[in-house]
Structure 1
């Protein structure tokens, strides 16, 4: 049986519209399924806690990266496969995995039954699947999650643009920090750090390819550090990140590792898959091939 977890409010109502389309297709294909709807933040995780893995073959999220993030933190303990029907603002996990953005294409991928095993990173007690970001991008994610603009843009299918617009909003007030990063026992020190992205998959922020070499099943995490750069120069570098060319810039450092410790001289906002989880010091590790996903 397939178990669908539907965030009706994902993408400002897009989740409900996509579920209605999904339900019609399921009926036509005579697929056995059960469905639950999320009513508040954290509800998807609670639903997952009540799922019997002996009766459920796959859990399918109709929602965005935030809902997927909640499910991943529970599904990692269960022997079920994850399916995605992208219905959020950014849909970066679906983008990284090549999941079709239309319902018919995404559902067909799920029902064909072919899946891959992905690594799952962990920061503190929190698992994530795409990217954790500290500093500037964490602050942008925090502002975006609170933004009325995001809801307005979702109505016209441009929710991912809200992240880009909030970059300009945060740019002129954000204060960089000095940061020490330990990667597999080697210590790196950076001054005036704008952001640190620790990636399992390449995309975040609605299509920004911050770590283009991240694969999700190679057993390591890719790290992007942007430091010692002026505000106006950062504006020049930022557009290059949509095509992964920013990594050639002299102020961008790329690292790779399996065990990562970050320590900043000031509090830094930390986001995982776009969800704000904690601040300041952070320790990262990776659980290899811990998630099955269509």
Structure 2
């Protein structure tokens, strides 16, 4: 019998507000232990998954599995870019945007069984001021929501919706200057999302035509809209028709610069960070292998 593949499960214990105390037992029950030798490690702080990912490369693991949400995937994926080591996903986040788009089962046991096949695809990696992202990065309203959600004591979709309404009550659109593949655009926008995949999570599609392996990013500009339009905007998001809204403009590009009048939060795969008032964004084609 050939030597078993060494795979590392990296568990975010607080993602999605879900308890993961029985996860190891689930893996040992479902994973094909004749093919795989699993190891488990929990994250303990922000950026810990990134550090674990770098160490996994040094230690020669055959695969690393993110047990968490888009933030955990971001940290591990950022570490594994260019290594050739595939990243697996067990979706345990609040939104699970990338996993949903890739068709990774939301059921824990089914997602583990998918790893048994050990089939992978290559996906693009976006880069924003040297920070990597695989799903969506953005600024404006959704970044402010991410910042609010990061400080919310209620996790999961309920906590996220609470943050949406907290921010919506006082949010003001901003002026942006965008340069997309050399062409300049000036926009007063509610928010700007730079999409590698089509959806934020929970099947809310901001860029229905986006693809993780086309070598292109979709710049989604949501213009200021009257509040009474909000139900229709939400309908477009969940009906995969945001690109049909009069208030949404989508411009594809590979090299993107965004300047904003005042420094505001930016989110990278849902995690809020400060990156200043000038953003340089590019794409690394087929930079990461993902098991799906």
TM-score, normalised via structure 1 length: 0.91
Change (3 A) 1:20 1:89: farther
Which residue pairs with 1:167 in the alignment? 164
Using the TM superposition, give the Cα deviation of residue 89 of structure 1 relative to its aligned residue in structure 2, in angstroms.
1.5
Using the TM superposition, give the Cα deviation of residue 250 of structure 1 relative to its aligned residue in structure 2, in angstroms.
1.5
Map 1:29-178 to 2 at 5 A: 31-52=36-57, 55-150=60-155, 159-178=156-175
1:189 aligned onto 2:186: yes
Using the TM superposition, give the Cα deviation of residue 271 of structure 1 relative to its aligned residue in structure 2, in angstroms.
0.2
Which residue pairs with 1:211 in the alignment? 207
Using the TM superposition, give the Cα deviation of residue 120 of structure 1 relative to its aligned residue in structure 2, in angstroms.
0.4
Confirm or deny: 8 A CA contact 1:9 1:16 kept in the other structure. Answer: no
Which residue pairs with 1:242 in the alignment? 238
Confirm or deny: 8 A CA contact 1:163 1:205 kept in the other structure. Answer: no
Which residue pairs with 1:154 in the alignment? none
Which residue pairs with 2:261 in the alignment? 265
Runs of 4+ in 1 over 4 A off after TM superposition: 27-30
State the SS of the aligned residue for 2:113. Answer: helix
Q: Which runs of 5+ in 2 are unaligned?
A: 1-5
Confirm or deny: 8 A CA contact 2:32 2:116 kept in the other structure. Answer: no
Confirm or deny: 8 A CA contact 2:138 2:267 kept in the other structure. Answer: yes
Change (3 A) 1:179 1:72: same
1:252 aligned onto 2:248: yes
161-170 or 98-107, which moves further after superposition?
161-170
Which residue pairs with 2:15 in the alignment? 10
Using the TM superposition, give the Cα deviation of residue 103 of structure 1 relative to its aligned residue in structure 2, in angstroms.
2.1
Using the TM superposition, give the Cα deviation of residue 198 of structure 1 relative to its aligned residue in structure 2, in angstroms.
0.4
Map 1:278-289 to 2 at 5 A: 278-279=274-275, 280-289=277-286
Taking the aligned partners of 2:109 and 2:286, their CA distance within structure 1 comes to 28
Which residue pairs with 1:180 in the alignment? 177
1:23 aligned onto 2:28: yes
Change (3 A) 1:52 1:284: closer
Over the aligned positions, Cα root-mean-square deviation in angstroms equals 1.8
Query: Which digits, 9 at most, give the CA deviation of each residue in 1:212-262, with x for residues without a partner?
Result: 111100000011101132233234312321122232121211110001111
Confirm or deny: 8 A CA contact 2:205 2:242 kept in the other structure. Answer: no
TM-score, normalised via structure 2 length: 0.91
Taking the aligned partners of 2:34 and 2:160, their CA distance within structure 1 comes to 38
The alignment covers a number of residue pairs equal to 285
Taking the aligned partners of 1:281 and 1:242, their CA distance within structure 2 comes to 31
Change (3 A) 1:16 1:200: farther
Using the TM superposition, give the Cα deviation of residue 29 of structure 1 relative to its aligned residue in structure 2, in angstroms.
5.2
Confirm or deny: 8 A CA contact 1:53 1:80 kept in the other structure. Answer: no
Using the TM superposition, give the Cα deviation of residue 81 of structure 1 relative to its aligned residue in structure 2, in angstroms.
0.4
Which residue pairs with 2:3 in the alignment? none
Confirm or deny: 8 A CA contact 1:64 1:86 kept in the other structure. Answer: yes
